[in-house]
């Protein structure tokens, strides 16, 4: 940074004074004065993270580092006003039960759709049947806390930058999230890419086969229609589970992706085949991302990563099938650690990152 020791000391004292960092143990030194370790204060700075999906909505209370304190979920109500009312009630109860009201610095919400950055309006969320919906201001009124809202894949990419393991990220990567839907968060030269109209990263709706199954967006043959959790379960059950745009009628599904993975590990050949096919289609779609953006690595998040050992070869084969160069085909694909709730970590980052990020990132 080309600044002197005195300036560094002044900055550190200011950060300590405002409570952003704190001093810890004294470190070792070969000679001279022993250094005092400095840490970012995260443990007593809390965030409520909300992940709205077609199937369920998840709420997590965590600290700024994304450490889970409490977690609950409920069936998603597709009526925006009713969903906001239930979220408000649950968040207020959660904060009260953990004595967190005075320590919570905001609520981060991720949704499966395109979000206008400045207004927070949800421009389009096919899974929920929403167009041009505003839940941010109503929720902020319900809980009397600041609310940040973002497209789920973009939030996951932000979390990878701010909460990912050291040395396991870069300034150029794509985060692909696979759940009820499929989308991508793009980071190029250290910047989260939203696009001119806040719709970048919707690779889930790129067509693989226009004669393929119908997607939640209403089109046929989208990448999402082959790789989402519903698509994988449909492949196994032999019946369509994906609703049409705007109908938002949840069908009773006898099992989850986790159940399907367990069946596959227990010897169910059909389950293993359904999961492997999803792996292949994931590879085909990732190849399109690699060809278009040439990232240094691709992160993959979602329940399907619990079967990574079963699908890795199929993913690599799918990439090899469509990648334009050998270098592109060799792009590392890194699965998210299971149990990490990447979308909730993304919602946490929406609140935590702006405290530390340069404006162009946050």
Res 66: pLDDT: 83
Question: How does pLDDT run across 143-154, given as a tens digit for each residue?
Answer: 999 999 999 999
Per-residue pLDDT band at 104 (split at 50, 70, 90):
very high
Same domain, 143 and 112: yes
d(CA 72, CA 65): 19
Same domain, 234 and 313: yes
Which of residues 142 and 342 earns the better pLDDT score? 142
Question: How does pLDDT run across 73-100, given as a tens digit for each residue?
Answer: 999 999 999 999 999 999 999 999 999 9
Question: How many domains, in total, are found in the chain?
Answer: 3
362 part of a folded domain: no
User: Quick one: what percent of the chain has pLDDT higher than 90?
Assistant: 61
Contacts of residue 285, Cβ cutoff 8 Å, sequence gap at least 6? 176, 182, 203, 204, 206, 208, 223, 226, 227, 318
- Helix, strand, coil share (%) of the chain residues, nearest 5: 40, 25, 40
Per-residue pLDDT band at 361 (split at 50, 70, 90):
very low
Element (H, E) at 322: helix 308-322
101 part of a folded domain: yes
Question: How does pLDDT run across 230-249, given as a tens digit for each residue?
Answer: 999 999 998 765 554 444 44
Same domain, 323 and 349: no
212 part of a folded domain: yes
Res 35: pLDDT: 81
230 part of a folded domain: yes
Mean pLDDT of 28-46: 76
360 part of a folded domain: no
DSSP SS3 for 57? strand
Same domain, 186 and 236: yes
| Max Cα-Cα span within the chain | 72
pTM over 0.85: no
Q: What CATH number did the domain enclosing 218 receive? A: 3.30.420.40
Residue 272 is part of which domain span?
165-340
Same domain, 206 and 332: yes
Question: How does pLDDT run across 38-72, given as a tens digit for each residue?
Answer: 877 666 789 999 999 988 999 999 998 888 999 99
Distances (CA, A) of 276 to 16, 272, 317, 318: 51, 6, 11, 11
Average pLDDT of the residues of the chain? 88
361 part of a folded domain: no
> Both tokens of residue 247?
């109908």
66 part of a folded domain: yes
Same domain, 28 and 61: no
Q: 114 burial class (0-12, 13-18, 19+ CB within 10 angstroms)? A: buried
299 part of a folded domain: yes
Mean pLDDT of 17-28: 77
Same domain, 73 and 215: no
Same domain, 309 and 214: yes
DSSP SS3 for 198? coil
d(CA 328, CA 322): 10
Same domain, 56 and 171: no
DSSP states of 284-307: HHHHHHHHHH--SEEEEEEGGGGG
Q: 319 burial class (0-12, 13-18, 19+ CB within 10 angstroms)? A: buried
Which of residues 160 and 236 earns the better pLDDT score? 236
DSSP SS3 for 17? helix
């Amino acid at each position: 940074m080309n600044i002197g020791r005195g300036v560094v000391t002044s900055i550190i004292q200011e950060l300590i004074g405002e409570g952003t960092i704190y001093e810890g143990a004294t470190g070792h030194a070969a000679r001279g004065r022993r250094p005092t370790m400095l840490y970012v204060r995260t443990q007593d700075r809390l965030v409520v993270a909300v992940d709205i999906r077609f199937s369920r909505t998840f709420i997590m209370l965590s600290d700024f580092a994304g450490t889970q304190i409490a977690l609950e979920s409920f069936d998603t109500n597709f009526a925006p006003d009713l969903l906001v009312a239930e979220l408000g009630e649950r968040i207020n109860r959660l904060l009260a039960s953990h004595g967190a009201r005075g320590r919570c610095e905001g609520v981060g919400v991720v949704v499966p759709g395109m979000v206008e950055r400045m207004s927070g309006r949800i421009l389009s969320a096919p899974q929920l049947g929403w167009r041009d919906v505003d839940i941010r201001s109503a929720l902020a009124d319900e809980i009397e806390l600041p609310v940040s809202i973002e497209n789920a894949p973009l939030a996951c990419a932000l979390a990878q930058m701010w909460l990912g393991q050291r040395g396991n990220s870069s300034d150029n990567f794509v985060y692909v999230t696979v759940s009820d839907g499929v989308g991508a968060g793009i980071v190029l030269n250290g910047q989260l890419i939203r696009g001119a109209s806040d719709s970048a990263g919707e690779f889930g709706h790129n067509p693989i086969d226009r004669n393929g199954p119908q997607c939640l967006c209403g089109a046929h043959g989208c990448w999402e229609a082959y790789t989402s959790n519903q698509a994988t379960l449909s492949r196994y059950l032999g019946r369509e589970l994906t609703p049409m745009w705007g109908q938002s009628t949840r069908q009773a599904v006898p099992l989850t992706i986790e159940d399907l993975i367990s069946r596959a590990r227990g010897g169910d050949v059909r389950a293993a085949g359904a999961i492997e096919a999803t792996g292949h289609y994931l590879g085909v779609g990732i190849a399109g991302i690699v060809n278009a953006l040439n990232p240094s690595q691709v992160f993959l998040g979602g329940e399907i990563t619990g079967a990574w050992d079963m699908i890795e070869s199929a993913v690599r084969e799918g990439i090899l099938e469509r990648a334009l160069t050998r270098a592109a085909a060799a792009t590392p694909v890194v699965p998210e650690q299971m149990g990490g709730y990447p979308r909730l970590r993304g919602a946490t980052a929406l609140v935590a990152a702006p405290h530390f990020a340069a404006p162009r990132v946050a």
